[in-house]
Amino acid sequence: MQTAGTPAVLAHVGGNVRRYRAEAGLSQVALADRSGVSRRTILKLEAGEANISLTGLDHLADALGVTFVDLVAAPTARRVDINELAWRGSRPESVAMLLASVPAASEAQLWTWTLGPGDRYDAEPDPAGWSEMILVTAGSLRIEQHGGTTELGVGDHLAFPTAQRYAYVNPGDTLVRFVRVVVS
């Protein structure tokens, strides 16, 4: 499961969900109905006791009329300097850091990712019109999409629409590092 993985980010997410839900005048049940995220998960999330998938956070943000970054960033964080751990893989060296966000049609996010040997991140489809740009800075990255698989080495990049299932895979035996830009 792709999770927002540290106590700090969980506290930000919990407090931000609670605040935006209150501002919207929504009960936890109403937010659950709008977002498709269970009421129990919302309850635990607001208490800082539950992890949630990145896609689940996207659904909550959409239901609240805010952005993903609004939910995960510290309330005082500048958008150009967010620096939050937002995903942790099965290996300790597999992490995704949300570094910054800039406006786009909706938003653009700058991430750094590392994947340990053999690890992967499986993504659910984003809404139509979303895209990602990937730049590999160390190792070798495989991107699996509906239309096929692309192998990227150091210095290689790929831009692609994300309204489809896709995965990042480290097929090698060394760490892979890459930069990810999400544009919505």
Under 8 Å between Cβ of 31 and 19? no
Under 8 Å between Cβ of 134 and 178? yes
What pLDDT score was predicted for residue 1?
36
Using alpha carbons, select from 92, 139, 84, 91 the residue that is nearest to residue 112: 84
Q: Which residues of 160-183 are buried (b: 16+ CB within 10 A; e: fewer)?
A: eebeeebebbbeeeebbbbebbbb
Low-confidence ranges of the chain (pLDDT < 50): 1-6
Number of H helices, E strands in the chain: 5, 10
Average pLDDT, the chain: 90
Task: Please tell me if the domain spanning 7-72 has the same topology as the one spanning 89-183.
Answer: no
Cα(33)–Cα(11) distance, integer angstroms: 23
The 10s digit of each residue's pLDDT in 63-117 is 999 999 999 998 888 887 788 888 888 898 998 888 888 778 888 899 999 999 9
> Domain locations in the chain?
7-72, 89-183
- Give the homologous superfamily in CATH for domain 7-72: lambda repressor-like DNA-binding domains (1.10.260.40)
pTM score, whole prediction: 0.70
What pLDDT score was predicted for residue 105?
82
- Give the homologous superfamily in CATH for domain 89-183: Jelly Rolls (2.60.120.10)
What pLDDT score was predicted for residue 2?
45
What pLDDT score was predicted for residue 7?
58
